[in-house]
Structure 1
Amino acid sequence: MLFSIVSPTFAAQDERVHETHTALPPATDLATDGAWSHAARKPILLYFERRECPYCVRAQRYLESVAQSRRDRARFRRIEADRADLPLIDFQGNPTHHAAFARAMKGTLTPTVVVVDGDGKPLAPPLIGLPDESFYSYYLEQLIEDGEAQLRHAQNR
């Protein structure tokens, strides 16, 4: 018989990684996501987090729920602001990594959520931190709606 002892902290982190990869996958190729955004005329929601951020764990629960229910309205991508070892293609097709991209997008204060267009241009002010949790899902939905409205407005010009 084989036993495995896993600390509760490790188990929780392992579960968090599994959940994150479902509805909030890490960004790998934002140029491809940007092309999708242009073609679909839908926004991209970027979620900036850090591994040791307790507020990020709480914010992620809300983001997972919204990403699951609104995946038809936006593309959801996770940026790990403290990961220089995680490669990324930026919106212009240039190779970089998550930490450098987070600095460039001013997403180093975590959690931060930004809704952008296919070129990576913000469509609404970012949601920084974890304000009143009872309204956090509403704030996320509002970001998506604001992004959609900005894209419609740009299309009508």
Structure 2
Amino acid sequence: MKTDMMEAARAFRWLFTLLLGLLALHALAAPASGNDLPSAVDLHLEADLAKKTASPLIVIFSRPDCKYCKAVKRDYLKPLISDPRYRGVVIRQVDQDSAAPLIDFRGKLTTQARFASAEKVKLVPVVAFYGPDGKRLVEPIVGARLADFYQTYLEDSIEKSTAALKAR
């Protein structure tokens, strides 16, 4: 009986290690297209990474067939990565309809679609700003809004999120 439990525990550890390895490979894989951002894999670790740079974790909820999502990623979020004012910013995307595995902020395994549903995302794009505890720091930016003002909305949300982190 004890041997069976030890074998089961060993098998569980092996499967868990394999799953983590696959998730890491998925995270390191190159984005599928020019305007894609890294896909969220482990929000708990990604929020911790953002915390180390004293910035919020920025998550865009999107869909592959959403032209507004593509525009927000291409025109506003991707340029943040090379902007010296936002050095070290961590941006991830969550596909509203994807069954891809995702570890949530509490370290629990879910899917991207279930996480989007739990966050009450109904329309995309949604750009949300999270602290290391997984709580939203400011109201998310919902929709593409007016192109002339989107950059201002984004920068304002990052500034307010960063201030909220410092106030904690």
The unaligned stretches of length 5 or more in structure 2 are 1-30
1:47 pairs, out of 52, 60, 73, with 60
Structure 1 residue 152, shift from structure 2 partner: 0.9
Higher relative contact order, structure no. (Cα contacts within 8 Å, ≥ 6 residues apart): 1
Q: Percent identity?
A: 35
Match of 1:26 in 2: 39
2:87 pairs, out of 72, 90, 100, with 72
- Point out the structure with max Rg over C-alpha: 2
Distance (whole Å) between structure 1 residues aligned to residue 138 and residue 126 of structure 2: 13
TM-score with structure 2 length normalisation? 0.74
SS in 2 for 1:92: coil
Aligned residues: 136
Match of 2:27 in 1: none
Distance (whole Å) between structure 2 residues aligned to residue 55 and residue 130 of structure 1: 6
The alignment yields a C-alpha RMSD, in angstroms, of 1.8
1:144 pairs, out of 142, 145, 158, with 158
Deviates more, 1:28-37 or 1:43-52: 28-37
Task: In structure 2, give the amino acid aligned to 1:115.
Answer: F
Asked whether the equivalents of residues 51 and 132 of structure 2 are also in contact (C-alpha less than 8 Å), the reply is: yes
TM-score with structure 1 length normalisation? 0.79
The unaligned stretches of length 5 or more in structure 1 are 1-15
Match status 1:87 vs 2:66: no
